[in-house]
Amino acid sequence: MEQKYYKIHNTDLYIIEDFIGEIDIQEVIEDVEETVAPHFLEGIESIIVSPYPDEGRLLEGNTLYIRNDFYCEELLVEEIILAVGDFIYSNLVEEKRDDISKYFLFKRTKLFDEYSKKYNKRVSLYEFLGEEEDKVYVDNLNNIDFEDMIFLTQKYFGNYESSLSLKNYISNSFHLYVTESLNKKYDKKISKLFDNLKEEHYEEKY
């Protein structure tokens, strides 16, 4: 197919290879622009839709890569917003990232306290204290009833995906924030991060 070119606010959007499903790209663009304020996209040079990467989404420099295997506009909008959240995570200055990391690990500690009391008293706190996605942490969650796992992670992180890593926490919290689903009273620190997010909070990478 011929490459297609669009804009999301001031960010270039390239469709290198058409979507697998029937996607109304104009509807997607309108939804993203209505949901995400322009300043959150500052520094993102382009968003490229193609079969690359093999799975998930990818950030390389100031370019976001999103796969073309979507069948639903709503899920594509969500993926673009999460990708913007990935960019925010990757470009936070060290001081801001360290601050949110401490908050993330505090939440993991609270989750551990409840988990160890209710489900497994022999589990170690060490198994819950990591910024990166970790198999041991996931295995511990998978050892309890699915509904309990969802309830527990929602209670402290908003959803299961947010609990998996610091990157996921920021990306998914950003999605909840812009869709007005984040509990700002309970998640004051991450809400304040997005409230105050300006270009000066990014590393000078561009």
The 3-class SS string of the chain reads CCCEEEEECCEEEEECCCCCCCCCHHHHHHHHHHHCCHHHHCCCCEEEEECCCCCCEEEECCEEEEECCCCCHHHHHHHHHHHHHHHHHHHECHHHHHHHHHHHHHHHHHHHHHHHHHCCCCCCHHHHCCCCCCHHHHHHHHCCCHHHHHHHHHHHHCCCHHHCCHHHHHHHHHHHHHCCCCCCCCCHHHHHHHHCCCHHHECCCC
**Among 23-32, 91-100, 135-144, whose mean pLDDT is lowest?**
91-100
Torsions phi, psi for 189 (to 5 deg):
-70, -45
Mean pLDDT of 81-89: 96
Residue 1: predicted pLDDT: 62
Yes or no: say if 171 and 87 are a contact pair by the CB < 8 Å rule. no
What is the pTM for the complete model shown?
A: 0.90
Report how far residue 12's alpha carbon sits from residue 48's, in angstroms, rounded to the nearest whole number: 8
Torsions phi, psi for 9 (to 5 deg):
55, -120
> Comparing C-alpha atoms, which of 104, 116, 82 is closest to residue 156?
104
> Comparing C-alpha atoms, which of 12, 15, 13 is closest to residue 4?
15
168 Cα distance to chain centroid? 5
Residue 204: predicted pLDDT: 45
Residue 198: pLDDT above 70? no
Kindly indicate the confidence band of residue 201, based on its pLDDT and cuts at 50, 70 and 90: very low
Residue 62: predicted pLDDT: 94
